[in-house]
Amino acid sequence: EESVDGPKGPLVSGASKPAWDLLDNASDVPLHKQIAGLTVNDKIRLARQANRPVRRILIRDLEKRIHLEVVKNPQVKDDEAIEYAGTAGLSPIALEWLSSQARYNKNKKMVMTLITNPMTPQRVARKLLDRLTHRELIKVMRSPRSRRRPPSAAHRWRDSPP
């Protein structure tokens, strides 16, 4: 079979193109329109190695499978992950993955953001409550972002002395 040299090694003819070849930086077509024209599988491949501007577009995609690949991207920094965790439309699976990462569990801002995101699964939010101080818990309960009723553990803490 014929092979074509790609930026990360040879590709067998007929195999899919490298993810970055899916976008044309020289094109007059805006990046968000180029991405919108891709298939879901191409967007998932792109999300795994995308730079920050592309990740910002992909994280808002309606296809929830793309969200997990965006947050798993090794180039995502803590501030960017916190921003994504605060996105109300983010996939519950992506939020659960963020909550399972030790590096994010140590970050109070990330924990607070995950708890107050209405898309975070209840069982995940309950586990994260243990990481909060009494004052932080009260802040979460009063947060307008937390649209659901706070977990029962929060109520028990609220009624206990500081």
Report whether pLDDT(138) > 90.
Answer: no
Span 81-92, average pLDDT: 93
d(CA 93, CA 119): 9
Mean per-residue pLDDT over the chain, rounded: 80
Name the maximum alpha-carbon separation found in the chain: 73
10 or 98: which leads in pLDDT = 98
Contact call for residues 46 and 35 (beta carbons, < 8 A): yes
Least reliable range by pLDDT among 8-12, 33-37, 64-68? 8-12
What six digits make up the tokens of 156?
Answer: 């028990």
Torsions phi, psi of 159, nearest 5? -80, -10
Least reliable range by pLDDT among 111-115, 117-121, 139-143? 139-143
H/E element holding 10? Answer: strand 9-12
